[in-house]
């Protein structure tokens, strides 16, 4: 065999062996993949699914917080995040660049809209190696209006990402109750950080859904591909006992007092005594949860225990009446009273009023009178039992975070006597409010609460419902009535300390408080270094509301009384709230005319406007028609409710609504019109309607806002 053929045959053999080995390696690899479904440790089926399946997120919303009438107090709202694309590779069309081309011009234009200097914007746009940049807090939470303004500038490379933020439409409103929610930097999700937003986070938190489908390599959905949908779960909606109108009355009056008197602290709350529902709650200083300018992270109504002062005498009086040891006309020597080794002094530096009756001692808020009641009439052990019965030793358990307990100093006789008139022991405002519901609610003490119910917005099912809870009966209904009558005299008597809290048209029962403030080495000195307060209820015979107001260390000028800042919160809040709730006046009006007897409201629904008006006038009522249709669909008050002669009643029909002439209307009548029509009305001033921002006869739409000013008659 020639030598050349020999080498060729050997090469062919080697090549055949290599091909054979390569074939068996490929065959083995294919067999392995076929058997295991893996290649290089990667699941091929999973990889194929990833390449050909597309997943789109279906966004859910955090639950809203609403007042008892469904008015939104906190909700998610759409915002935008400003971004700038710097990567030139993004531009494929030189005529229409998709990156920032002129950084100087871009910075100059943006500086006119966002809260950032031109130089700082330039620094961001000139970051080395950055392909895309954001503008920090100045570029987040961009409103739709700002977005439109920036878009009109036609700045290449500037665009927006849709975002969500937590929004509080009322600003400084119920802030220390609501708290706030913020974006968690790690999860990029909205999370409750304070107040109800924090403790209800599990209810409010949403869960995004998704839709998955098969796609081609370009991402287009393949024909006949089946979608896999995971439904989103929106957060639950929380309905509070808070009434937005009453909260607004309280907020407005607190703001005015804070500006006028500049106190260290204001605390106030409105409670429905028959149920324990908190209708309003506020404090100063407060904050705007939209910008979170927080200076006090606590809700002082539940987290601040202090010596309450003479509002405590309400419960000492109730205990003495319940035990039949209070004799209104019995005389005692006022001024000073020695007990437990120390002198109890009346507030006028121990001068007192000589021999006086216990009734007058109550009117004048005598400390000696109540120290004697606790020590000599009740006895300290029996008085202590009532401190327990009124729940003053333990937390109320209100559904708000941060509640602290009281500190009752009851070791020494002097402290026991001092506790009877509101010194020595520290109590929270919410404990006092719970206790006073027993006075207002005929002996039944009701637990306060702010969360009414929680609803799943997807299924409409109620997932949590709070019901009124009676937590004790410290006194009888007869005792409660006697206490209210005496507290009514505190307001109406010429010598009563509660005179500044008299409200025209309504009987108010209540008790003032002036509490010393503990400092280093004793109590603070000075005429303003006190917590001035008032605990009041109205109407006296059947209280619908209880309001507590406390103002700490107001800056009083010459001629101003310590009761002025407290009354300027209590009086307008109570009066406006009673009018808003349609509670009929119980006293004489401005003109001195007596209120007429009540009658029952007839049923005028489903009748023609003509016949309904005629029947109303025959019943000596004043009908106001809302809407242009011929048939009455709703009426206010409803059939069977008490109405009085010449009272305005509202008959609502379908069709367009027009503005009535409100001249001479009372605030209550204007707010009734607002409630029935659904039109928002801003009211200001006192007395009767004197001007309105919308002319008579003009059509009213849902988004119309009417401003009505009131003036007192000359």
Q: How big is the CA angle at 565 (ends 559 and 568), to the nearest 5 degrees?
A: 110
At 271, list the tokens: 């409670």
SS3 of residue 714 by DSSP: coil
Distance CA 139, CA 619 (A): 63
Ranges of H-type helices in 624-666? none
Burial 658-668 (b: 16+ CB within 10 A, else e): bbbebeebbbb
Are 318 and 474 a contacting pair, CB within 8 Å? yes
Distance CA 56, CA 668 (A): 52
Burial 274-295 (b: 16+ CB within 10 A, else e): bbbbbbbbbbbbbbebbeeebe
User: Which residues does 220 contact at the CB level (< 8 Å), separation at least 6?
Assistant: none
Ranges of H-type helices in 349-405? 358-363, 367-372, 380-389
At 324, list the tokens: 């039949």
Q: Pairing state of beta strands 72-85 and 65-66?
A: antiparallel
Ranges of H-type helices in 535-619? 563-580, 609-618
Distance CA 328, CA 234 (A): 60
Out of 61, 64, 286, 310, which one is annotated catalytic?
310
SS3 of residue 149 by DSSP: helix
User: Which residues does 459 contact at the CB level (< 8 Å), separation at least 6?
Assistant: none
277-284, strands of its sheet edge to edge: 277-284, 265-272, 545-552, 530-538, 509-516
Let me know if 310 is a catalytic residue: yes
Ranges of H-type helices in 237-352? 244-261, 300-303, 313-322
Cβ neighbour number for residue 622 with a 10 Å cutoff: 13
Alpha carbon 282 to its chain centroid, in Å, reads 8
At 596, list the tokens: 């007429």
Are 359 and 486 a contacting pair, CB within 8 Å? yes
Cβ neighbour number for residue 702 with a 10 Å cutoff: 9
At 292, list the tokens: 């979170």
Give the active site residues.
310
């Amino acid at each position: 065999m020639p030598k050349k053929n020999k080498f060729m045959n050997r090469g062919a053999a080697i090549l055949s062996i290599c091909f054979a080995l390569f074939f068996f390696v490929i065959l083995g690899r294919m067999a392995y993949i076929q058997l295991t479904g893996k290649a290089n440790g990667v699941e091929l089926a999973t990889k194929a699914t990833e390449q050909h399946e597309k997943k789109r997120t279906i966004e859910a919303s955090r639950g809203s917080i609403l007042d008892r009438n469904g008015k939104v107090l906190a909700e998610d709202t759409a915002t935008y995040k400003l971004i700038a694309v710097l990567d030139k590779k993004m531009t494929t069309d030189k005529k229409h660049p998709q990156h920032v081309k002129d950084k100087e011009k871009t910075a100059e234009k943006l500086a006119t809209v966002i809260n950032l200097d031109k130089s700082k914007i330039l620094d961001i746009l000139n970051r080395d190696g950055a392909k895309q940049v954001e503008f920090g807090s100045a570029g987040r939470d961009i409103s739709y209006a700002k977005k439109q303004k920036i878009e009109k500038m036609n700045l290449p490379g500037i665009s927006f990402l849709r975002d969500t933020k937590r929004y509080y439409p009322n600003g400084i409103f119920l802030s220390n109750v609501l708290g706030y929610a913020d974006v968690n930097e790690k999860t990029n999700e909205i999370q409750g950080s304070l107040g109800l937003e924090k403790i209800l986070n599990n209810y409010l938190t949403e869960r995004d859904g998704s839709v998955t489908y098969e796609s081609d390599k370009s991402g287009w959905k393949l024909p006949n591909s089946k979608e896999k949908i995971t439904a989103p779960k929106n957060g639950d909606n929380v309905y509070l006992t808070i009434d937005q109108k009453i909260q607004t009355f309280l907020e407005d009056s607190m703001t005015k007092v804070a500006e006028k008197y500049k106190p260290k602290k204001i605390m106030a709350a409105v409670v429905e005594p028959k149920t324990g529902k908190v209708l309003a709650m506020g404090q100063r200083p407060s904050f705007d949860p939209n910008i979170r300018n927080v200076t006090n992270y606590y809700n002082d109504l539940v987290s601040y225990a202090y010596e309450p002062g003479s509002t405590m005498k309400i419960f000492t009086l109730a205990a003495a009446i319940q035990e039949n040891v209070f004799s209104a006309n019995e005389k005692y020597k006022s001024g000073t009273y020695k007990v437990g080794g120390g002198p109890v002094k009346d507030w006028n530096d121990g001068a007192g009023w000589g021999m006086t009756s216990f009734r007058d001692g109550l009117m004048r808020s005598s400390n000696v009178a109540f120290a004697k009641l606790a020590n000599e009439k009740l006895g300290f052990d029996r008085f202590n039992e009532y401190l327990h019965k009124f729940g003053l030793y333990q937390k109320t358990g209100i559904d708000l975070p941060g509640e602290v307990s009281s500190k009752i100093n009851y070791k020494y006789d002097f402290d026991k006597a001092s506790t009877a008139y509101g010194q020595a022991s520290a109590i929270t405002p919410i404990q006092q409010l719970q206790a006073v519901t027993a006075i207002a609610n005929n002996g039944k003490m009701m637990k306060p609460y702010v969360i009414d119910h929680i609803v799943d917005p997807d299924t409409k099912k109620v997932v949590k419902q709070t019901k009124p809870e009676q937590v004790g009966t410290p006194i009888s209904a007869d005792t409660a009535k006697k206490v209210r009558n005496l507290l009514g005299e505190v307001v109406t008597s010429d010598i009563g300390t509660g005179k500044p809290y008299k409200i025209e048209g309504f009987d108010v029962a209540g008790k003032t408080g002036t509490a010393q403030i503990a400092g280093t080495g004793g109590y603070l000195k000075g005429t303003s270094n006190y917590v001035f307060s008032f605990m009041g209820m109205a109407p006296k015979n059947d209280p619908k509301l209880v309001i507590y107001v406390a103002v700490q260390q107001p800056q009083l000028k010459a001629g101003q009384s310590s009761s002025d800042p407290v009354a300027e919160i209590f009086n307008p809040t109570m009066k406006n709230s009673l009018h808003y709730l349609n509670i009929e006046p119980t006293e004489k009006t401005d003109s001195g005319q007596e209120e007429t007897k009540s009658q029952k409201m007839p049923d005028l629904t489903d009748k023609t406007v003509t016949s309904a008006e005629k029947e109303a006038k025959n019943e000596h009522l004043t009908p106001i028609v809302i809407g242009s249709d011929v048939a009455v669909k709703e009426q206010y008050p409803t059939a069977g409710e008490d109405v009085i002669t010449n009272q305005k009643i509202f008959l609502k029909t379908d069709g367009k609504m027009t503005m009535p002439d409100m001249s001479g209307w009372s605030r209550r009548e204007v707010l009734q019109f607002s409630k029935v029509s659904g039109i928002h009305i801003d009211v200001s001033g006192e007395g009767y309607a004197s001007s309105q921002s919308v002319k008579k006869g003009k059509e009213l739409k849902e988004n119309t806002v009417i401003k009505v000013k009131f003036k007192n008659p000359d």
